[in-house]
Amino acid sequence: MKNLKELFITPPILFIASIILILLIHFYLNLIIFPSTIFLYIISYILIFIGIIFIISSIYSLMKNNTDIHPFRKPRILVTNFPFSISRNPIYLSFILFLISFSLYLRSVLGFIPVIAFYFIIEKSVINEEEKIIYKSFGKKYLDYKNKVRRWI
């Protein structure tokens, strides 16, 4: 499988494409829906809130440490403080939380297809490549971090 760098597709573009797919599925193929309950909407809002915390704190941590947010570029510093102390990929985690929340809010069971596709594409085409770059940059320090912190959560 080619990585996204070779295809010139960034994770935010893939995220937006996933949102569009969820909407298309919702409006044109939504044969199976979750029942409408307040619980579903509460879970949706909680996931959005957690996603917002993760993405804002991730960007803040990267900027504070003066390192690059773009995948496939060599990082200057191995950032390990919050939220990178909980997940090695908090930005991608927040994207997935947003997508899950959006599908739940729309009550779309089939809306989870783009969520699952996003997960596998990010996992295989982005994270694996990023981890090779980070390992080349930081070696044992990265391996120690990798052994302490899970990829997702």
Please give the single-letter amino acid code of residue 6: E
Does residue 41 lie in a domain region?
no
What is the domain count for the chain? 1
Does residue 24 lie in a domain region?
no
- By the 8 A CB rule, do 109 and 116 touch? no
Does residue 75 lie in a domain region?
yes
Residue whose structure tokens are 């509460």: 42
Does residue 4 lie in a domain region?
no
State pLDDT tens for residues 37-91. 888 889 999 999 999 999 999 999 999 988 878 777 778 889 999 999 999 999 9
Question: Mean pLDDT, to the nearest integer, of 4-11?
Answer: 65
In the chain, % of residues over pLDDT 90: 60
State pLDDT tens for residues 114-146. 999 999 999 988 898 889 889 999 999 999 999
Does residue 17 lie in a domain region?
no
* The pLDDT of residue 31 is above 80: no
- By the 8 A CB rule, do 32 and 128 touch? no
Cα–Cα nearest to 108, from 44, 50, 30 = 30
Residue span of the structural domain in which 135 resides? 50-153
Does residue 96 lie in a domain region?
yes
Global model pTM greater than 0.75: yes
> What six digits make up the tokens of 15?
């995220």
Does residue 65 lie in a domain region?
yes
Does residue 107 lie in a domain region?
yes
